[in-house]
Amino acid sequence: MGDIKVRGKKEDEDEKAEVDIWNYVFGYVKIAVVKCAIELGIADAIDKHGSPMTLSQLTTTLKCEPPRLYRIMRFLVHYQIFKEEPVTQDSFGFALTPLSRRLIRHGERSMAAFILLESSPVMLAPWHSLSARVLDSGNSPFETAHGKDVWSYAEENPRHSKLIDEAMACDARVAVRALIEGCPQVFDGIKSLVDVGGGNGTALSMLVKEFPWMHGINFDLPHVVAVAPKVDGIEYVGGDMFECVPKADAAFFLWVLHDWDDEECIQILKKCREAIPQDKGKVIIVEAVLEEDKNDKLEFVGLMLDMVMMAHTKKGKERTLKEWKYVLGEAGFTRINVKPIHTVQFIIEAYI
């Protein structure tokens, strides 16, 4: 009986492998079709219509060729990105799901810009050099593909820089909302907050609106803050975080430190330590913490992000709690609190 059970388990594993392998053979198809749906504006059209749309209505609105659009929708319905609902006794329409609502370009929880960034030719090209990166400690895959690092490339290509800012704004809307709802006490007593690497200011504008007693400082590279939308209550400062950080009660990081190696993080954090009050100042870090919660349904996202860091940055990485404690300790922070929120990232508070 024991042999039969073992043999049965192996057969089950083999059958599962037969299915799973096809997800790797054609794994790119899902992201390509979802990107197609965003570019066509399928979710936007259905949202604007206010009710399920028939294929005929969709093709007219989007000016698409009907049989091809049907094949796209069949695929998206199969993966439950959209769903079919009856429109009349004899016809059905395509309706939004919670997932496709996140494909609406200007939706409250939209991730459309993030998907467009990660599926862009610029960001896809480095993945072809990932194995070379593992074998060699030289240039990052991004540098191999484009001849310069991601930040230099963005500075010279405003369109790509805008795409990065819009993608980061997608995550900011999700992460900051989770932070406000889950840990609002993090901002108690803070009268001024500098968002280091704040991009177009989405995160900071949400925080200043929620905590109006705070003065916000959006600090990023000059070419980034120059085009950031201006919001009341926020000061915009261009500069280099490796050289100096504007003074404030607290420094805030959202998905910034994972772009850099330990020594670079320590250098940045030391500049933050110089910028905040020695008695009550703190650094607030919103980043993934690997291997911290095995029951976290989003744990896989942190592991994926770590691969993104390997492909898109020179030395960036996602960190475990032990690794976070190391860089913060080396930068002179003696006490930290780590709290989960309902998103990919954790909240790390670090005190001098």
| Catalytic residue list | 258
Neighbours of 337 (CB within 10 A): 12
β-strands 250-254, 282-287: how paired?
parallel
Q: Does residue 251 contact residue 275 with C-beta atoms inside 8 Å?
A: yes
Report the C-alpha gap between 285 and 349 in whole angstroms: 6
Report the C-alpha gap between 203 and 215 in whole angstroms: 13
- Helix residue spans in the chain (DSSP H): 2-25, 27-40, 42-49, 55-62, 66-78, 98-101, 112-118, 121-124, 130-135, 141-146, 150-156, 158-182, 202-210, 222-225, 262-275, 299-312, 321-330
Report the C-alpha gap between 33 and 71 in whole angstroms: 10
The helix/strand/coil state of 36 is: helix
Q: Does residue 83 contact residue 97 with C-beta atoms inside 8 Å?
A: yes
Q: Does residue 147 contact residue 318 with C-beta atoms inside 8 Å?
A: no
